[in-house]
Amino acid sequence: MDTPQTSLPQDSYANFTPPPTPQSVVSPDNPPWGILGALGVWILSFVVMIAAQLVFLVGYIIYRGVSLNELAVFVTKDPTALFFAVISIIPAHILTLGLAWLLVTKIGRHPFLPTLGWDWTREFTFWRCAGLAAALLLLGIGVIKLTGNPQTELDRLIESSRATALATAFLATVTAPFVEEVIYRGVLYSPLQRAIGKTWAVTIVLLLFAAIHVPQYWPSFGVIGTILVLSFVLTAIRARTGKLLPCFIVHLIFNGIQSVLIVLSPYIETPAPETTPAPALLLSFVEFLARNCW
């Protein structure tokens, strides 16, 4: 006896949607992008930052009626112009992450963070990363003490206004560690390691990362040396573990401690040294950390 067959209405086929294809995860050490793509994103990150600063500053410059002869001095001395220059980095960072996403995921074909190695290892848990960040910070203080502490461009930026100091602290904690780790230890390091090996990849990435910070910290060789050490440690962690998340946590805590000190330093009063020297020493320590270690 034949079994009656049921047929679906014709409209059901038209409305049928196939299940989504799962994104494929690739190894961070064998990325789906090459050196040229990585260098392109790195270069475009600077172009985006300059363009964002121009967008934020041009209107203010026109409003103030600044002449071309005064322009160079104005954008480096005017407190409001400096504030606009700092906050313009926020949209620049967002756009940079967008460029990195397009490259890493191949426009959605791969998951973003897993492809970069966003995971823990047994060697580098959260608390070990926190301890390492604190140790690097203390090492930086010692290096700066030994080599001197001249005023840097970052010092002048922080001192220009309270709003600029707070904006700088925000960027140093909320956006800079994530964006910089994605670009340097993620987008740049992965194809370099595959093409030229770990040793040369670590060397190139640590030097590039340190080099972009030199203008901020010139002429403090102690701070520049600290940044070199930080860059080496972060890149060595990436090379040893194949993971990016521990690098981010070390970077985040390293910057975050100092950002907290930048925020709190104006609220710590300096008493008379001859009566209560301990709080004065604390203030000196806070100011030293806030201005010279990231």
Transcribe 122-177 into DSSP letters.
Answer: SSS-HHHHHHHHHHHHHHHHHHHHHH-----HHHHHHHH-HHHHHHHHHIIIIIHH
Q: Which domain holds residue 277?
A: 31-292
Q: How many CB atoms lie within 10 A of CB 101?
A: 16
Looking at residues 33-58, what average pLDDT do you find?
A: 95
pTM for this structure? 0.83
Only one residue has tokens 């946590």, namely 249
Only one residue has tokens 């049928």, namely 16
Q: Which distant-in-sequence residues (6+ apart) come within 8 Å of 255 by Cβ?
A: 172, 173, 176, 177, 294
Number of domains in the chain: 1
CA-to-CA distance for 101 and 190, rounded, in angstroms?
A: 14
Q: Give domain status of residue 131, yes or no.
A: yes
pLDDT at 293 over 50: no
CA-to-CA distance for 153 and 170, rounded, in angstroms?
A: 18
Q: Give domain status of residue 238, yes or no.
A: yes
Q: Give domain status of residue 6, yes or no.
A: no
Contact 217, 154 (CB under 8 A): yes
Q: Give domain status of residue 214, yes or no.
A: yes
Closest listed residue to residue 210, CA positions, set 196, 226, 199: 226
Q: Give domain status of residue 110, yes or no.
A: yes
Q: Render pLDDT for 109-157 as a digit per residue (tens, 0 to 9).
A: 999 999 999 999 989 999 999 999 999 999 999 998 898 888 888 888 8
User: How would residue 75 be classed by pLDDT, with cut points 50, 70 and 90?
Assistant: confident
Q: Give domain status of residue 53, yes or no.
A: yes
Contact 26, 115 (CB under 8 A): yes
pLDDT of res. 74 = 86
pLDDT of res. 265 = 82
Only one residue has tokens 């620049």, namely 92
More confident residue, 216 or 239: 239
Q: Which distant-in-sequence residues (6+ apart) come within 8 Å of 227 by Cβ?
A: 209, 210, 213, 217
Kindly report which listed range (149-158, 239-248, 251-260) carries the lowest average pLDDT score: 149-158
Alpha-carbon torsion angle 157, 162, 165, 170, nearest 10: -150
Instruction: Provide the percentage of residues in the chain whose pLDDT is more than 90.
Output: 65
Q: Give domain status of residue 13, yes or no.
A: no
Contact 291, 155 (CB under 8 A): yes
pLDDT at 205 over 90: yes
Contact 81, 75 (CB under 8 A): yes
Q: How many CB atoms lie within 10 A of CB 37?
A: 18
Contact 110, 97 (CB under 8 A): no
Contact 32, 26 (CB under 8 A): yes
Contact 139, 226 (CB under 8 A): yes
More confident residue, 139 or 4: 139
Q: Give domain status of residue 4, yes or no.
A: no
pLDDT of res. 267 = 82
pLDDT at 10 over 80: no
Average pLDDT, the chain: 85
- Tell how many helices (H) and how many strands (E) occur in the chain: 15, 0
